[in-house]
Amino acid sequence: MWVYDIGSRQQLIRMIAALLLAVVATLSEDALAQPQGELTLTPERCVAMNEGQTCYQTVIVRWQTNEIADYCLYLQDEPEPLVCWESVRQGRSRVEFASDISLSYRLVLTPQTSNKRQEIAQATLTVSWVYGDSKKRRNSWRLF
């Protein structure tokens, strides 16, 4: 048979509640400190006539974040940015797309004091075709 001291039990519950509250507050501060953003492409798709053909498209890139800072827009894994903005929370740019494969655009926070870049948002421009590759062998049965 267990004997509990009600006073120490309530004190333990209060201590656990205070500890949980401190952990939640710390996690909330970390979540608020991290910039969050949205990146949209218009249009979201580029259509070429034939599979494997380069697709050309003018794309409007729009973005917004919850924090005023310096941001740059990158295409896929390219080392140089397409465009950068200073001390802003949102932006818009017109970029020319030319590719035969789908590519991703990345919005990156560019800190002034370090080389570490943090990706804030990403969007992919999908390439599709009207006609598939005509060189592929078609297995169709013809009776006549």
Q: What is the pLDDT of residue 55?
A: 94
Q: What is the tens place of the pLDDT at every residue in 90-103?
A: 999 999 999 999 99
Q: What is the tens place of the pLDDT at every residue in 17-71?
A: 777 776 666 655 545 556 789 999 999 999 999 998 999 999 999 999 999 999 9
Instruction: Please give the structure tokens belonging to residue 132.
Output: 């598939």
Q: What is the tens place of the pLDDT at every residue in 105-139?
A: 999 998 775 567 789 999 999 999 998 765 555 55
Residue that is written with structure tokens 């421009």 in the block? 125
Q: Is 139 exposed, middle or buried (0-12, 13-18, 19+ CB in 10 A)?
A: exposed
**Every domain of the chain and the residues it spans:** 1-33, 36-131
- DSSP labels, 52-105: TSPEEEEEEEEEEEEEEEEEEEEETT-SS-SEEEEEEEEEEEEEEEEESS-EEE
* CB contact at 8 A, 29 and 71: no
Q: What is the pLDDT of residue 123?
A: 95
**Does the predicted TM-score (pTM) go above 0.85?**
no
CATH 2.60.40.10 fits 36-131, yes or no: yes
Asked if omega into 43 is within 30° of 0 (cis), the reply is yes
Facing residues of 55 across strands? 99
SS3 13: helix
